Structure 1
Amino acid sequence: MKKFAGSVVILMFALQAQAQVMQQKAQWATISVPQLKCWTCKDKLEKFLLTEKGPNGDAGIVKWTIAMNTGILKIQYVPDRITLDYIKVAINNAGFDADSTTAEPQAYKALPPLCKRAADGGGPQKGKPCNLPPDLQ
């Protein structure tokens, strides 16, 4: 009986060690999202990313930062739970371009005018900076 209990304990440690080896560390990626120039667009994308993150944060997205002056999204994710391509598709589904992938047409159409591409008349308007927090505008 002692041998059996000892075998079970060793097996449990081995399985735990294997699970830790298999689980990848979170890594950072930089994604260009040229439409992210104002607080409206930032809020819209962040709300969408929160749903993609999952209710318990277990979907693979850990955290992100957005630099509105450059339109750069830095996102931390766990590669064994979610892929970078999936994250880009999720951004596209929110209506935004991501690197070389373009926004899903219906979602893009639903964006507010400020969040549209500059070629479509979107983005900051002359004399009305939108990259400042709403309380400073």
Structure 2
Amino acid sequence: MKKMVSLFAAGLMLLAVKANAQEKKAEWITLKVPQLKCWECKDRLEKYLTREKGPNSDAGIVKWQIVMGAGTIRIQYMPSRITPDYIKTAINNAGFDADETKATEDSYKTLPPVCKRPEEGGGPQKGKPCNIPPQQ
């Protein structure tokens, strides 16, 4: 009986190792998000991505880095769980453009004026820099 339990446990361990080995390594994608120039927009997108990420990165998004000066976001993701197109769609659903894809109309309407496209009057307002972190 002990031998059978040991064999069963060894088999389970082997299956777990094999399943883990098939998981691809996390990859990075850099996306241009032109509206991502201020703290309000950054916070809004981060809150959305945190919900999208799910607990323990279950959805496939591991982490991200936002460079407001360049209007870019680097996202680390698990390619076995999520695709770059899905990530772009998630950003679009948050109301932001991502590379060549445009934000969904309904979510874009909910953005504050500062997070709108520059050609529509969005972005930093005269005398109100928005790239400076808010004071706590």
TM-score normalized with structure 1 length: 0.90
1:1-137 to structure 2, matched below 5 A, reads: 4-5=4-5, 7-135=7-135
> Tell me, which stretches of 5 or more residues in structure 1 are unaligned?
none
SS in 2 for 1:107: helix
Q: Give the counterpart letter for 1:128 in structure 2.
A: K
TM-score normalized with structure 2 length: 0.90
- Give aligned-pair identity as a percent: 60
**Structure 1 position 5, deviation (Å):** 4.9
**Structure 1 position 102, deviation (Å):** 0.3
SS in 1 for 2:64: strand
Moved more, 24-33 or 50-59: 50-59
Q: Distance in 1 between matches of 2:12 and 2:46?
A: 40
Q: Distance in 2 between matches of 1:36 and 1:22?
A: 35
Q: Distance in 1 between matches of 2:98 and 2:111?
A: 15
**Structure 1 position 6, deviation (Å):** 5.8
**Structure 1 position 25, deviation (Å):** 1.3
SS in 1 for 2:135: helix
**Structure 1 position 28, deviation (Å):** 1.1
Q: Give the counterpart letter for 2:131 in structure 1.
A: N
Q: Which runs of 4+ in 1 moved over 6 A?
A: none
**Structure 1 position 100, deviation (Å):** 0.6
SS in 2 for 1:135: coil
Q: Distance in 2 between matches of 1:5 and 1:107?
A: 55
